[in-house]
Amino acid sequence: MGTRDKRDASPATPSASEDNPSTVGTSARAAETRQARGIHANTPPATLTEAIEAEREELLQIHAMTRCLYEVLLYSDDDDGAMHADVAQVIARLLRDTVSRLELVATKFGKIAT
């Protein structure tokens, strides 16, 4: 991979937390909540809401990594980099859509832990 020339820089795209400001610091808050309740990382969630929130957190982290991968691939020197970046962008969109659906389920069955 080569370095990116600042003259060819495209406008910045929003990150996962910029797309959804309610997700800023979500993992840290949830980890603190689990720790305060004495719940370890390998302990299964006690409620449906906790299970949904745990999956939502994982998907948001994967979404953020996919957005980073998109940016790297978009400006790579590889001939197929732009095509692979498009694939990463579709994956990020699908992840974001899944998180949105999980939030609707959590809203229906109980408030998302904050």
**Token pair of 103, please?**
């939030």
- How far apart, in whole angstroms, are the C-alpha atoms of residue 55 and residue 45? 10
Core vs surface per residue 80-93: b (16+ CB within 10 A) or e:
eeeebbeebbebbe
- How far apart, in whole angstroms, are the C-alpha atoms of residue 69 and residue 49? 30
Give residue limits of the domains in the chain.
17-109
Of the two residues 57 and 25, the one the predictor is more confident about is 57
**Tens-digit pLDDT profile for residues 65-112:** 999 999 999 999 988 999 999 999 999 999 999 999 988 888 887 665
For residue 49, is pLDDT > 70? yes
